[in-house]
Amino acid sequence: MKDYRVQSVLFDSSMYSTDKAEEWLKIHNMKNKGVDIKDKHLRYRQLNPTYLRRLGYTEYRTVDITKGIMFIIVYHRTTK
């Protein structure tokens, strides 16, 4: 899984306020174009799924980064 992109960053809303999440994004040079507040997560989109699909990125996975933070990554489908 070499060729991947971070599509969104998810923060556990029981551990992170929007201020704390946005501070983390800034420190780690991630985008903050606004937050999508869900029941359990704060979601910050990094790249538009339509744009990624045009580039051939179609496979999505959620990966734990550290306690309370996850990345939704997308990568090119590999053939077996």
Q: Amino acid identity of 34? A: G
| Structural domains of the chain, count | 1
Phi-psi region of 60 (alpha: psi -120 to 50; beta: other; left: phi over 0): beta
Confidence (pLDDT) at 79: 57
Q: The domain containing residue 24 runs over which residues?
A: 4-76
Encoded tokens for 44: 């910050």
Q: What is the DSSP letter of 5?
A: E
Nearest-angstrom CA–CA distance, 55 and 28 = 25
Q: How do the residues of the chain divide into helix, strand and coil, expressed in percent and rounded to 5? A: 20, 40, 40
pLDDT in tens, 2-59: 688 999 999 999 999 999 999 999 999 999 999 999 999 999 999 999 999 999 999 9
